[in-house]
Amino acid sequence: MDIRYRILHTSGTWSLTVLRAMLGLVILPHGAQKLLGWFGGGGPAAFLGGFEQMTGLPGLLGWLVILIEFVGSICLIFGFWTRIWAFSMLCLFIGIILTVHLPNGFFMNWGGNLAGEGYEFHLLVIGMAWALTVGGGGALSLDRSMMGAERTF
């Protein structure tokens, strides 16, 4: 089995299609906040400054976050290299939990009265990304088209 097959093969199931489209649509605005300053975001300079201060990690890794959230989300929406982008997102969100949200506990800060946000949302992203890493892009994915329908049963 060649590497192309391992990366691109997927079944024609619609559940994976919905999963990847929803994950991409939810994460894309977060990437747009960081890269373009849209949706109330501060753009790259503001994000990278906060990233380095909050995590203590170099700005180069901040650019990787932006790449995964923005480009990766667009690729997921279209089902292009689904496994690669989903696995990247899975790793990213594990890192986000470990470097930022773990001390804040499980629950999100709905009332705005806690020190920070919990990691419940991040666990959902990890679960969705894991399912896509294992299952691929599903029906209506570019992966499926590039592979050829005859080999994606």
CA distance 29 to 73: 9
Query: pLDDT tens, 60-117?
Result: 999 999 999 999 999 999 999 999 999 999 999 999 999 999 999 899 888 888 788 9
Q: How confident is the model over 29-57, as pLDDT tens digits?
A: 999 999 999 999 999 999 999 999 989 99
> CA geometry: angle at 131 spanning 62 and 90, to 5°?
15
Domain boundaries along the sequence of the chain: 3-151
